[in-house]
Amino acid sequence: MTEQKWDWPHTKKWPKFSGKRIDIIKQMFLAGEAINVNNFVKFYTEDALYQFSNFPVVYGHEGIKNASTGFLEKCEGVHHHIKNIWEIGEDTVVVEMEVTYFRHDGKIFTLPCCDTVRFKGDKVQELRIYMDISPVFAD
């Protein structure tokens, strides 16, 4: 798989939301929607904390890649529908959204979600994804 760069204009998908950290989040979501974990982890610090729903907290690029295995086995696509997004102070972003998951078996789930993101410089130091992902993993 060819590695993609994420420096192209990303504001077309969510044009009403913009800000220094918000623009990084939008690029990160697009990398996630491309289902390319190697590009996705580039948005994180080497020691980043990553918590997806009720799954255990993982750390760093390898932890994020390993934690994504179950998701990739279950889903072939994901789309983020941002409802609101706030920059709080210099290093925090909160995102209210709905996320649509497309499973390999053709089932589609749209679920409410709230992310809190803390930055260190221009990289994500901590991402906590608050949602009930259990419908996606149920058979």
For every residue of 6-33, DSSP letters joined together read: --S--TTTSTT---HHHHHHHHHHHHHH
Confidence check: pLDDT of 4 > 50: no
Question: What is the tens place of the pLDDT at every residue in 87-106?
Answer: 999 999 999 999 999 999 99
3-state secondary structure of 129: strand
**Residue ranges of the domains in the chain?**
20-137
pLDDT-based confidence at 11, cuts 50/70/90? very low
Q: Under CATH, which number does the domain 20-137 receive?
A: 3.10.450.50
Residues 46-58: b if buried by 16+ CB within 10 A, e if exposed: eebbbbbeeeeeb
Q: Are 130 and 114 in contact (CB under 8 A)?
A: yes
